[in-house]
Amino acid sequence: QVQLVESGGGLVQAGGSLRLSCAASGRTFSRSAMAWFRRAPGKEREFVATISCSGVSTYSADSVKGRFTISRVNTENTVYLQMNNLRPEDTAVYYCAAAATCWGDIRLVSVSEYVYWGQGTQVTVSS
């Protein structure tokens, strides 16, 4: 089992920044690819960004490229999402997720590829 606890959400004006954190426990953190997803009101959960087990490789959705950065510190069992230049359309509940494996030949970007989920943290961007 893996427990994931997100923090760092809140209310921010458009153009502002937030940093989300996700603390993991219960499994060897460095053996799990990690990701952030989000769900906006009335929409399905969507992929935001993922990071390889080592932290060397990352991949982000086109909608957040150049604005959001995913990172991890394996010695601290923590993954981060730095969000800059936030827009009202970024308003959503943000979820941290852990896969049961590392990336193979293909990046893990689908909801179904992640086994463990946090409870979510609300991010609201006002215009």
Helix (H/G/I), strand (E/B), else coil: 29: helix
pLDDT value of residue 103: 87
pLDDT value of residue 109: 93
In this structure, what DSSP letter does residue 110 have? S
Structure tokens at 7: 């923090």
Alpha-carbon span 76 to 24, nearest angstrom: 9
Could you tell me the pLDDT band of residue 116, with boundaries at 50, 70 and 90? Answer: very high
Average pLDDT over residues 38-51: 97
